[in-house]
Every structure is written in structure tokens, then in C-alpha cells.
Amino acid sequence: MIGGIDISKRARPAMYRPNNTAIDDPAFLRSAMTELSFGALVTPHTEGIEITHVPWLVREEAGKTYLESHIARANPHWQLAGRGRSVVIFQGPQAYISPSHYPSKQVHGKAVPTWAYITVHAHGSLMAIDDGNWLHAHLAALTNRHEAGRADPWAVSDAPVAYIAALKRGIVGLRVEVARMEGKWKVNQDKSEQDRAGTYHGLMAEGGEQGIDIAQALASFPKSEG
């Protein structure tokens, strides 16, 4: 029981998403996870919770979504594969929102700071992959994804074959078959049009990549009725 709410009655783990913050479109969430790329793998077990932060590749196959990564063989997280559910948490841009951005503050003063953020949770089954060919293809795809656009992109084939082979023996592949995705865009979209505009212009004026990303995410929401 937390705050008078019996969370044990929830059928499955869920993220609190009030005030029009829920984003559930699968294609949109896959695109967001691809762009964010880095996420925390969380797997509960009988002795606690294992957490590992790794980069991910997002794949869609036969209508299903898969997340692929790899970890050091010495990391025990891969040994939890096949034991219940895991969740991968992708954290997007986030920013402090000052009440000074709100025109309503000048009218009635009823305004307090808040934090705006974007996140995606992908729930599913964790699999461990200990196959050299799969690992090689995965490492090449992951590298190509992040080297794309560089003037002189690095490729796995640039390193000595024996060196890469030795490194591959020290890692294990991870694959999560995603059963459910849930996104949360808490970017002040529930505010009045005046305070939304104040938030947008305030963040744009303050600058900073994350604040600008939050402002642009807010601008993408349709105007509220009335």
C-alpha cells in the first residue's frame, strides 16, 4: 500500500502517466528508442534487481519488436535470461521548468517548479545469445548505426580479425522480445495555452540542447480545447 493505493492489485508493472502524458503508438515508440539508443536493462530476481546500462539496436521482425545489445561475460545479468520479465528504460531529454515562464504566475502566483522529461519503457523477455556469428553481425550493425555520418567512419573490419575474435569471447549478446511498450511525454502539455507558450519561449531562450528538445516536443502537441 503506497499513499492509500494498493499497487499489489496491478496486473502488470506500469508507469504512472496522468494528464495526457501517455504515448502508446508502437511505431512512434520504436522511433524514439532508436533515436535515444541507450537504455537501462532492469531484471528483478529472487535476490534483488539487476540493472545494466547499455546501447541498444531496435528491430522489427514479423510485426514484433526486439531490442538487441551485449554485455561483458563477467556481468552476471545475462544469466537471468529466461527468468521472468525484464524492462528496458530509455531516458530522453529532461529539463527543469521555472514557474517564471508562466504568464499565470503574474496573475495569481499559483505556480511552482516542475521537471519535464521524456521516457520509454519496453517490457519483455530477456534472451542471452552466445553465438560468434550473431555477435559479429550485431557489433557491425551497432557500429555502423553510430558511425554513420562521420567523415571517416570506423568499421569492425578496421581492427585485426584476431583482436575482434578475442573481444567477442569476452561478451554475451542480449535480445529482448518486447511484449509491451509505454511512453511518457511530460512536457507541460496539460497547461493552459498561455503557460504552454511561456514554457516554450522560456526554454528556447535559456538554450541548452535538452531544454530545446523539450520545448520542441511541447510544440508538437495539439492545442488543448478552450
CB 189 within 8 A of CB 20: yes
The reported pLDDT for the residue numbered 19 is 80
| Model pLDDT for residues 48-79, shown as the tens digit of each residue | 999 999 999 999 999 999 999 999 999 999 99
Residue 8 has pLDDT above 60, yes or no: no
The reported pLDDT for the residue numbered 191 is 94
Q: Look at residues 59, 62, 65 and name the one whose alpha carbon lies nearest to residue 137.
A: 59
| Model pLDDT for residues 182-192, shown as the tens digit of each residue | 999 999 999 99
All three cell numbers of 75? 556481468
Considering the chain, what is the average pLDDT of its residues? 92
The DSSP call for residue 2 is: B
Residue 224 has pLDDT above 80, yes or no: no
DSSP 132-161: HHHHHHHHHHHHHHHHTT-SS---GGGS-H
Is pLDDT larger for residue 145 or for residue 1?
Answer: 145
Q: Which residues contact 82 (CB under 8 A, 6 or more apart)?
A: 125, 126, 127, 128
The reported pLDDT for the residue numbered 226 is 42
The reported pLDDT for the residue numbered 3 is 45
Over residues 153-165, the mean pLDDT reads 96
Residue 225 has pLDDT above 80, yes or no: no
Cα gap 111→134, rounded to integer Å: 53
Taken in order of first residue, the domains within the chain and their CATH numbers are 11-93+113-189 (2.30.110.10)
Is pLDDT larger for residue 98 or for residue 83?
Answer: 98
The reported pLDDT for the residue numbered 13 is 66
* Residue 177: burial class (beta carbons within 10 Å; 0-12, 13-18, 19+): middle
142: number of Cβ within 10 Å: 18
DSSP 43-81: EEETTEEEEEEEE-EEEEETTEEEEEEEEETT-GGGGGT
Cα gap 9→1, rounded to integer Å: 10
| Model pLDDT for residues 196-213, shown as the tens digit of each residue | 999 999 999 999 999 999
